Structure 1
Amino acid sequence: MTLTEPHAPAPADATTRALLEVEALDVYYGASQVLFGLGLTVGEGETVALLGRNGAGKSTTFKAIAGLAPPRRGAVRLAGRELVGVATHHIARAGIGYVPEDRQVFPEHSVEDNLTIGAKAGPKGARDWTLERIYDVFPILAGMRTRMAGRLSGGEQQMLTIARTLMGNPDLVLLDEPSEGLAPIIVVEIAKLIATLREMGVTILMAEQNMHFCLDVATHAAVIDKGVVVYRDTIDGLRANREITDRYLSI
Structure 2
Amino acid sequence: MAGAMLEVRGADVFYGASQILFGVDLAVEKGQTMALLGRNGAGKSTTFKAIAGLAPPRRGRVILSGETVSGRPPYRIARAGIGYVPEDRQVFPEHTVEDNLLVGAKRGPRGEAHWTLARVYEVLPLLAGLRTRMAGRLSGGEQQMLTIARTLMGNPDILLLDEPSEGLAPLVVQAIGALIRTLRGMGVTILLAEQNMHFCLAIATHATVVDKGEVVYRGTIPELRANAAVTQRYLAV
TM-score by length of 2: 0.99
* Residue 216 of structure 1: how far off its partner (Å): 1.1
Matched, 1:94 2:94: no
- Structure 1 position 189 matched with structure 2 position 175: yes
**Shift, 1:84, TM fit:** 1.3
| Aligned-residue identity in percent | 72
For residue 201 of structure 2, what is the amino acid of its counterpart?
L
User: 1:193 is aligned with what amino acid?
Assistant: L
Which position in structure 2 is the counterpart of 1:3? none
SS at 1:168's partner residue? coil
Q: Secondary structure at the match of 1:22?
A: strand
Q: Deviations over 1:185-216 (max 9, x none)?
A: 00000000000000000000000000000011
What residue ranges of structure 2 are gaps of 5+ in the alignment? none
Aligned counterpart, 2:148: 162
Cα distance in 2, alignment partners of residues 179 and 245 from structure 1: 19
1:90-129 correspondence to structure 2 within 5 Å: 90-129=76-115
Q: How far apart in 2 are the matches of 1:167 and 1:195?
A: 18
Deviation of the 1:83 alpha carbon: 1.1
Deviations 1:89-119 (A, max 9, x none): 0000000000000010000000000000000
Residue 246 (structure 1) aligns with: 232
1:248 positional shift = 0.3
Are residues 1:227 and 2:237 paired?
no
Look up the match of 2:161: 175
1:132-147 equivalences under 5 Å are 132-147=118-133
Pairwise CA distance, 1:220: 0.2
User: Is residue 28 of structure 1 aligned with residue 34 of structure 2?
Assistant: no
Matched AA of 1:71: P
Q: 2:41 maps to which residue? A: 55
Q: How far apart are residue 151 of structure 1 and its match?
A: 0.2
In structure 2, the partner of 1:200 is: 186
* Distance (Å, rounded) in 1 between the aligned partners of 2:40 and 2:192: 14
CA distance in 2, matches of 1:231, 1:41: 13
Shift of 1:159: 0.2
Gaps of 5+ in 1: 1-11
Across the aligned residues of Structure 1 and Structure 2, the Cα RMSD in angstroms comes to 0.7
* Runs of 4+ with deviation above 3 angstroms: none
CA distance in 2, matches of 1:126, 1:31: 41
1:210-249: CA deviation from partner (whole Å, max 9, x where unpaired): 0000011000000000001110100111011101000000
